[in-house]
Each structure stands twice: as C-alpha cells, then as structure tokens.
C-alpha cells in the first residue's frame, strides 16, 4: 500500500507539474507568438496582404486552407481537452475510491487529497483556457488576422470568427451608414465624418452641451457644438486612441431632419499629411446613449461594446464641387402625380448638415438650402432627408392627401400646379487675397447657407437643369445664385396608389452551398423592385439569421437600374445587402417590411412578388419561405428554412 501510495503521489505531482508547465508554455507562446509578430500584423492594417494566390498554391499542393488563428485554436483546444480529461478522470477516480474506502480514514484522506487536486486542476484548466481565449482572440482580431475564434457558430465546424472587425455587430444594428466608408482609400484631408444611426441618439452624449460656444435653437434644443469627450475617437491608426483628436478639434452637428439619427463630425485641423498616406480609425464608443429610454447605451444587448472602422487619408485636399447627376421627376414634365417624392442624386456624398432639414413655418423650422416652390413662389412645407449612402436627398411635402394600402398617410404637392420649381443653393464662397474665388470652399463663418459635399465644397449647380457647370463657362465658381441648380415640373390632380412589388431576388429561395450558383459566406443579397423606390424608407430593412449567434453585420446600398416590365424598359430600384462573412450552415433571410415605400409613398406588400400572391382582403401581407402568409415571418417555426 505504501509503495502504491508513493507512486500515486508522484504521478499526481508529476501530472500537475506537467500541467502547470504546459499552461505556462501555452500562455508564453500566445504572448511571444502574438506580440513577437505584432509589427507584421500592424502592417496589415495599412496594407492588407492579398492571400488569394497563397491560398491557391496551398490548395494545389494539398495543404489545408485553415487560417493561422484556426490552427492555433485547434491546438489549444486539443491540449486543454487532454488536460481536462485527465483532471476529470482523477476526480472520478477519487470519488470511486472514497466510495470503496469502507470508512478507512487513510483511504478517505487519500481520496480527499486526489479529489482536491482534481478540482484544483479543473479550476486552473478553465481559468487558463479563458485567459488564452481572451488573449489570443482579442490580439488576433486587433492585429487584423481573419478567421480566428474559439466559438463555433450555427453549425460552422471550422470555428469561423464572424467579427472580422471590432464591433461588427454594430453595423446594421446601431450604425446604419457612415462616410467615409470602411477601408476607403485616398480620402481627402478636409473630409467630414458622417454617421447615420439606426435609432435616435441622445445629442448630449455626442455634443458637449455645456460648452459656451455650443449652438441651440429657440427652444433650447442642441444644434451643434464641440465633441463630447470620449464619445467618438478619431485618430491616426499608428498613433493609437490615446492621441485621438481633442474635443475642441471636432465640431459636431446634429442633422435637423427631426429624427436625431444623423451627426456630422467636422475635424477642424486637416487630417493626415501632405507627404504620405495616413490610415485613420474612427471609434464610436459605448458611452453614447439612445434618446429613449434615457441613459441606455446604444450598444446595449450587443456582443460589441462600440464600433470602429478604418480608412486611409491621402495627401490632397478635395476642391472639387459636387454636382446633381439625376433628378426625379422628369425635368419639364407637366403631369406628375401629386404624391411623387422629389429626389436629387448627387455625384458624391453630401454634407447632410447642409442639405437636410425641414421647412415648416408653423413650427418655426426654416430650412431653405433646397426648396420646392409653387407657382406663387411660396416655399412648399416639407422635409428633406438623406438616403443611400448620403448621395440622395428626398423631399416629402407636409400636406396630407390620401392613405396607402397599409393605412399610412400619403403626402402631396399642390394639385394641378403647372410650375413647381425645385432649387438647390450653391453657397457663399471664400475669396483669396486678390479677391478671386480660388476654390469651392464655403465660408464656414457664415455657416451652411448652401449645399456642400463631404469636404465642404459648395454645389456646382450649373443653373437651370444643371446645363452650365463651371467647366463649360469660365471654370470659376461664383456661388449663389449663379451656381444654383434649378428645374421645374408640373403636377396633375392624380394620386398614384398602386403598390410596388419585387420582381427578382438573389440568391434564390433556399439557395445554399450546393446550389447553382452556390451561396458562399460572402454572397451579397439583392432584391429588385418594379418601380423607383423612396430610398429614405429602407432603414427598417433587416438581415437575420435563424440562430441569433450567427447574426452578421450588414449594410445596404440602393441603385437605379433598368428593367423590362410588360415589354417596356423602365428605371427601377435594386436593393443590395452586403455583409461580413456569414456562419456556414445557418439559414439567413432578408426582412423587407411594408414600411418600405415607392416613390409615390405606396407601401410594399411583402406577400406581393416572386412566388407570393398578395390578397389584401385575406390579410396576406407577409411572404415567408416563398409562401404568402397572414402571420409575421418571425413567428413561423420554419422561418429561414425550406418547407
């Protein structure tokens, strides 16, 4: 017995010595491997390595395609799994020995000692695993190495790490859109940074409302002011967040469209350098709050505690003015339905603080940088809002005139008015020392008295119908009114009430990796409508996974395309949903609600379109799994899967 007890004790001591050394080696390797390679990873932030050819070579040579992160993950899993099995075995052995001790004090004490060591071993194993998980996952993620993670999501046995960038769950859930876009290159040094959120954000969590220079309206509501410290960090990536622009270096403006969802961050000093390209990071922290309920973080309930993205600032200033490239309705048309939405599409993203607002004299709202005027020259009350990546501005009148198929209000322009003028102001420009207008920069001291782009260049409107841009005259900007854009059209007494439908979707219903064409983790999702759509109504479009853990960050774009409908070619809208890589083997479904409207404010009927046949009298408003239904899709057990 004594000899056997000595052997067991030595085994236990040897095992736990080996165990301790093993954990030390794993943690040391994590630190050494990651921190030692960190300078190489840091380079990937500025110039990501194209691994396409390397992957092709590896596949041709019969090598595995798993990333470095996944390989390390598997090794650590195996190691800790082996240690856990041994520790669990010792614990079970101790319990078995205790049961057979038959009251022998020595046997019971020996069993207790083994059990104690086994439990201690399990605690150490779980602790070490958690530490390794945290260190390696976070450091690989921060270093820009994709495809790494311990957590298996929605049947993805490769352990794909869904969050390929920090706060990826924030895009599409908290942040609707931002400009500059992720990974944009050669961004101008004088750019502003614009963010549209999915829901109203408390201005006091982004703007220093206590500053003496903060601006408020007549009712005391905040309009603009210096950045609130710690809310949004803007910094050269190589310098780190500790050297972010100070709150006095960033002027924040709440876009006055009545939604409290969109903010413009204007860095006062130029970003970057005149001699080299500089990668920048913008980080929206979790200290920003929802407007309602109060004091609740905008990122509450999400796995990410903030959202950040990168772009590269070039060496030049942007002095090129924006132009209007298309307009709805048709110029000089005379029979437009009263409920048409006026739509201006610009050549580049517009500074929303200059082009979005409400004209409503009853409530003392006087935005007039863009106006629609009737034949009596009176401004038509209405709201100008932005959509589609800040390139499109839309006008909806405030006069109610009808309801659509969903029972929602439709708003109309004056009836049978033969001369409605749409006008976008250019702005007041800066003169140089000689008195000449040297560039298109708006005079910031006078504010946004005209439309500007995301680098604060004043609009090159080109006069009537945009016919005479600067380049076709003397090549010099003159400002408002010479460089305003204006056109006219007429309305009839008609109100168009037919509902829009979807005429094609990609991928097809129930498509997967085995179908033709195959669906990959990067496949975009699209839906093409049978008419032009009101792009500012697509905020509620969602992209869901059946398993909530498999949800992926996504962003939407809308484009005007030509489709042949009933033998006639016409302009229609195509919705495209892009996303971070998806989890394998998890069902996904785009959700397009009835709140999406066409350009005449008619609601989309989700059960009207490809494979579905709407019947308003039967209440079949939803299209679930390709079949019309009276229920919301999320309430169906077969949501996201084939019948």
pLDDT in tens, 338-385: 999 999 999 999 999 999 999 999 988 889 999 999 999 999 999 999
Task: Determine which of 310-324, 429-443, 468-482 has the lowest per-residue pLDDT on average.
Answer: 429-443
Tokens at 422, concatenated? 């749409």
The predicted structure's pLDDT at residue 34: 39
List CB contacts of 310: < 8 A, sequence separation 6 or more. Answer: 45, 182, 183, 237, 279, 280, 281, 282
Residue 579 near residue 162 (C-beta atoms within 8 A):
no
Kindly report the backbone phi and psi dihedral angles of residue 446, in degrees, each rounded to the nearest multiple of 5, phi listed first.
-95, 0
Give the rounded percent of residues in the chain with a pLDDT score beyond 70: 77
Range with the lowest mean pLDDT among 108-112, 189-193, 273-277, 308-312? 108-112
Q: Residue 560 in contact with residue 571, Cβ under 8 Å? A: yes
- Model pLDDT, residue 473: 63
Q: How high is the mean pLDDT of the chain?
A: 79
Query: In the predicted model, what is the mean pLDDT of residues 510-519?
Result: 85
| pLDDT tens column, 561-573 | 999 988 999 999 9
Quote the DSSP letter at residue 205: G
In angstroms, rounded to a whole number, what is the distance separating the alpha carbons of residues 31 and 621? 56
Average pLDDT over residues 386-413: 91
Strand partners, 308: 283
**Residue 507 preceded by cis peptide, ω within 30:** yes
CB 172 within 8 A of CB 380: no
Mean pLDDT of 509-536: 89
CA distance 367 to 238: 41
Q: How confident is the model at residue 270 (pLDDT cuts 50, 70, 90)?
A: very high
Q: Which two tokens stand for residue 478?
A: 């003159």
Q: Are the beta carbons of 161 and 147 closer than 8 angstroms?
A: yes
pLDDT at 45: 31
Taking alpha carbons only, the member of 625, 634, 521 closest to residue 156 is 521
Closest CA to 395 of 296, 329, 481, 301: 329
- Among 3.40.50.10540, 2.60.40.1220, 3.30.70.940, 3.30.750.24, what is the CATH number of 168-313? 2.60.40.1220
Quick check: 639 pLDDT over 60? no
Distance CA 158, CA 67 (A): 10
At residue 305's C-alpha, the angle toward residues 302 and 307, to 5°, is: 100
Weakest-pLDDT range from 376-385, 433-442, 600-609: 433-442
Predicted pLDDT of residue 156? 32
Cβ atoms within 10 Å, residue 348:
18
pLDDT digits (tens, 9 = 90+) for 438-464: 667 776 556 688 999 999 999 999 999
Q: Which residues pair with 251 in a beta bridge?
A: 226, 266
Strand pairing category for 429-431 and 420-424: unpaired
Identify the residue with better confidence: 132 or 406: 406
Give the 3-state secondary structure of residue 522. coil
Sequence-distant (6+) residues with CB within 8 A of 611 are 509, 623, 626, 627
Q: Is the pLDDT reported for residue 70 higher than 80?
A: no
606 Cβ contact partners less than 8 Å away, ≥ 6 residues apart: 592, 593, 594, 612, 621, 622, 623, 633
Q: What is the pLDDT of residue 323?
A: 95
Give all strands (DSSP E) within 289-355, no chain letters: 306-313, 324-328, 342-346
Q: Which pLDDT score is estimated for 180?
A: 94
Closest CA to 540 of 589, 598, 591, 574: 591
Give the whole-angstrom CA distance, residue 467 versus residue 61.
60
Distances (CA, A) of 414 to 338, 371, 375, 402, 493: 7, 14, 10, 13, 9
pLDDT at 196: 93
Domains of the chain, by residue range, sit at 2-142, 168-313, 367-489, 502-635
Q: State the pLDDT at residue 121.
A: 76
pLDDT category at 1 given cuts 50, 70, 90 is very low
Q: What pLDDT band is residue 151 in, cutting at 50, 70 and 90?
A: very low
Query: According to the model, what pLDDT value does residue 532 have?
Result: 95
**Confidence (pLDDT) at 165:** 67
Per-residue model confidence as pLDDT tens digits over 87-134: 777 778 878 777 777 777 877 888 788 878 777 877 777 777 666 655
Calpha distance 342→380 (Å, rounded): 12
DSSP assignment of 41-57, as one string? Answer: HHHHHHS----HHHHHH
Q: If you average pLDDT over residues 308-314, what whole number do you get?
A: 95
Helix axes 2-46 and 68-99, enclosed angle (nearest 10): 160
- Distance separating alpha carbons of residues 51 and 563, to the nearest angstrom: 37
C-alpha triplet 390, 246, 223: angle, nearest 5°:
50
Give backbone dihedrals phi and psi of 556, rounded to 5 degrees, phi first. Answer: -115, 145
Terminal C-alpha separation, the chain: 66
CA distance 191 to 384: 23
d(CA 355, CA 257): 10
Q: Are 224 and 268 in contact (CB under 8 A)?
A: no
Length of the chain: 643
Q: Is the pLDDT of residue 73 over 80?
A: no
Which residue in 79, 91, 78 sits closest to 24, CA to CA? 79
In this structure, are residues 137 and 124 in contact, taking their beta carbons and an 8 Å threshold? no
| CA 368 from centre of chain | 30
Q: How many helices (H) and strands (E) does the chain have?
A: 5, 31
Confidence of residue 143 (pLDDT cuts 50, 70, 90): very low
The larger pLDDT score, comparing residue 155 to residue 74, is at 74
pLDDT band at residue 472 using 50, 70 and 90 as cut-offs: confident
Average pLDDT over every residue of 44-68: 36
């Amino acid at each position: 017995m004594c000899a056997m007890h000595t052997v067991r004790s030595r085994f236990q001591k040897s095992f736990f010595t080996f165990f301790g050394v093993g954990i030390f080696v794993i943690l040391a390797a994590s630190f050494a491997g990651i921190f030692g390679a960190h300078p190489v990873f840091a380079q990937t932030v500025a110039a990501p390595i194209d691994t396409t050819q390397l992957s092709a070579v590896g596949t041709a040579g019969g090598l595995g395609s798993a990333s470095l992160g996944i390989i390390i993950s598997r090794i650590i899993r195996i190691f800790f799994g082996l240690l856990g099995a041994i520790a669990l075995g010792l614990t079970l052995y101790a319990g078995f020995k205790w049961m057979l001790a038959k009251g022998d004090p020595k046997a019971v004490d020996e069993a207790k000692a083994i059990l104690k060591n086994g439990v201690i071993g399990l605690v150490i194993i779980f602790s070490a695993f958690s530490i390794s998980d945290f260190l390696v996952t976070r450091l690989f993620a921060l270093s820009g190495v994709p495809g790494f993670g311990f957590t298996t999501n929605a049947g993805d046995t490769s352990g794909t790490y869904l969050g390929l960038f920090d706060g990826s769950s924030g895009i599409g859930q908290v942040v609707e859109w931002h400009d500059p876009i992720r990974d944009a290159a050669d961004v101008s040094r004088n750019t502003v940074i614009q963010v549209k959120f999915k829901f109203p954000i408390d201005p006091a969590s982004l703007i220093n409302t206590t500053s003496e220079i903060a601006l408020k309206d007549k009712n005391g509501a905040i309009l603009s002011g210096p950045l609130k410290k710690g809310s949004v960090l803007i910094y050269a990536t190589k310098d780190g967040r500790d050297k972010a622009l100070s709150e006095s270096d960033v002027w924040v403006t709440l876009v006055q469209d009545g939604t409290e969802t969109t903010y413009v961050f204007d860095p006062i000093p130029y970003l970057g350098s005149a001699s080299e390209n500089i990668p920048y990071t913008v980080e929206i922290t979790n200290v920003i709050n929802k407007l309602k309920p109060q004091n609740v973080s905008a990122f509450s309930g999400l796995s990410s505690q903030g959202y950040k993205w990168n772009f590269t600032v070039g060496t030049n200033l942007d002095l090129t003015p924006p132009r209007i490239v298309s307009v709805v309705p048709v110029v000089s048309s005379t029979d437009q339905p009263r409920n048409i939405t006026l739509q201006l599409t610009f050549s580049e993203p517009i500074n929303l603080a200059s082009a979005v607002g409400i004209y409503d004299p009853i409530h003392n709202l006087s935005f007039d940088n863009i106006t629609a005027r009737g034949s009596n020259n009176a401004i038509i009350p209405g709201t100008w809002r932005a959509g589609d990546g800040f390139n499109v501005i839309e006008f909806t009148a405030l006069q109610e005139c009808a309801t659509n198929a969903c029972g929602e209000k439709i708003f109309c322009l004056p009836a049978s008015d033969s001369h409605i003028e749409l006008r976008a102001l250019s702005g007041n420009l800066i003169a140089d020392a000689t008195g000449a207008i040297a560039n298109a920069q708006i005079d910031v001291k006078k504010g946004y008295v005209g439309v500007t782009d995301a680098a604060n260049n004043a609009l090159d409107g080109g006069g009537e119908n945009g016919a005479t841009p600067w380049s076709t005259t003397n090549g010099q900007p003159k400002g408002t009114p010479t460089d305003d854009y204006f056109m006219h059209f007429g309305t009839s007494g008609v109100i168009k009430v037919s509902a829009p439908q979807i005429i094609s979707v990609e991928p097809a219903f129930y498509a997967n990796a085995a179908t033709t064409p195959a669906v990959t983790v990067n496949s975009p999702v699209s839906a093409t409508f049978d008419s032009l759509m009101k792009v500012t109504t697509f905020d509620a479009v969602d992209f869901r996974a059946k398993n909530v853990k498999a949800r992926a960050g996504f962003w939407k774009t809308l484009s005007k395309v030509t489709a042949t409908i009933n033998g006639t070619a016409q302009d229609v809208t195509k919705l495209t949903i892009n996303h971070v890589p998806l989890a394998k083997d998890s069902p996904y479904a785009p959700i397009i609600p009835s709140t999406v409207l066409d350009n005449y404010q008619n609601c989309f009927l989700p059960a009207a379109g490809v494979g579905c046949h709407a019947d308003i009298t039967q209440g079949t408003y939803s299209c679930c799994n390709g079949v019309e239904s009276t229920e919301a899709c999320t309430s169906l057990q077969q949501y996201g899967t084939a019948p």
